[in-house]
Amino acid sequence: MILELDGVTRAFGSLRAVEDVSLRIAEGARHALIGPNGAGKSTLFNLIGGSLRPTKGRVLFAGRDVTRLPEWRRARLGIARTFQHSSVLLSCTAAENVLIGVQREAGVAARMLPTPRRRRELLDRCESLLETVGLSGRAHVPAGALSHGERRQLQVAMALGNRPRLLLLDEPAAGMSPAETARLLTVLKDLPRDITVLLIEHDLDVVFGLADTVTVLHLGRHLATGTPAEIRADPAVQSAYLGTAEMGELFVEA
C-alpha cells in the first residue's frame, strides 16, 4: 500500500473535523475522495500532506509512519499536492514556475548558478512536464497570461516536478469550463501508473471518469469505499447526498 490511514482523527476544540478514518490506497491507484460540503475532505488532505497533524491515529506512506513528519519531509519522500486556489507565480513564466519544483527535486537551490549544461537539462525537464499536462508551447508565457484552466494544468506540472509517488489533487477542475475540464481529465488519465493519484473533486463527471475507487466522507467519518458503481448503489451514500447539488450527477450512469 502506498498510503494507509489508521484511525485518523483531527479535532479543533470540541469539533471533530475528521473522526476515526481508516483507509488503504494501493500504489498506482486512481482514488477519489468525495462527500457533501463540510464532510472533512480538505482536513483529511491536510493530514495526509502534513500541514496538519492528527489528534490521534497514524498516517503511513509506503510502509513508513509519517504521522509526525512535517510537510517538507513528506514532500521529499514523494508526496506532492495541488491546492483548490491557484498557487502559481503570475509574474513568472510557466517554465519558471515548474523550475521551482524541478530544482528542489534535483537538489539545486534557487540561489545557486548551475552550469549552462545543467540549466539546459533542468529547463528541458520543465518543458517535458509542461507537455505532459497539455501546455506544450506555453513554456515562455507568463502564468498571469494563461487561462484559468491552463493555470490549473500548470499546478499539476509544478507538482510533478518533485517526481511524486503520491499526487494529491484538491479540486483540480474547480471553476473550469466543460472544455477545460475535458482537457484536464485527459491529462490526468495519461499520467503514468507509477504515480498514485488521490483527488478531492465536486465535479462527479471527473470523479467517475478517472477514479478506480471512491471513498465517501460524511460529517468527518468514513461512510463508504468502493468502485464508482458500488458507490452509486450504496443507500447510505444516497442518503448523505440527498438534497445536495451533486445528487443528480451522482446517480447519472457514466
Instruction: Encode pLDDT of 43-77 as tens digits.
Output: 999 999 999 999 999 999 999 999 999 999 999 99
Q: What is the pLDDT confidence band of residue 253, given thresholds at 50, 70 and 90? A: very low
How large is the C-alpha radius of gyration of the chain?
A: 19
* Residues near 110 by beta carbon (within 8 Å), at least 6 away in sequence: 100, 103
Report the alpha-carbon distance of residue 138 to residue 144 in Å, rounded: 12
Q: Which residue has the cell 462527500?
A: 35
Alpha-carbon span 218 to 39, nearest angstrom:
5
Helix (H, G, I), strand (E, B) or coil at 153: helix
Backbone angles phi, psi at 140, to 5 degrees: -100, 10
Q: What pLDDT, on the 0 to 100 scale, is given for residue 254?
A: 38
Domain boundaries, the chain: 1-78+165-254, 87-163
Closest CA to 27 of 52, 60, 58: 60
What confidence score (pLDDT) does residue 180 get? 87
| Domain 1-78+165-254 classification at class level | alpha beta
Give the whole-angstrom CA distance, residue 146 versus residue 135: 10
Question: Rounded to whole angstroms, how far apart are CA atoms 221 and 19?
Answer: 5
Q: What mean pLDDT is reported for the chain?
A: 87
pLDDT tens by residue, 74-129 = 999 999 998 877 778 888 999 989 988 787 765 555 555 566 777 778 888 888 89
* Three-class secondary structure of residue 36 per DSSP: coil
Q: pLDDT (tens digit, 9 = 90+) per residue, 138-158?
A: 889 999 999 888 998 999 999
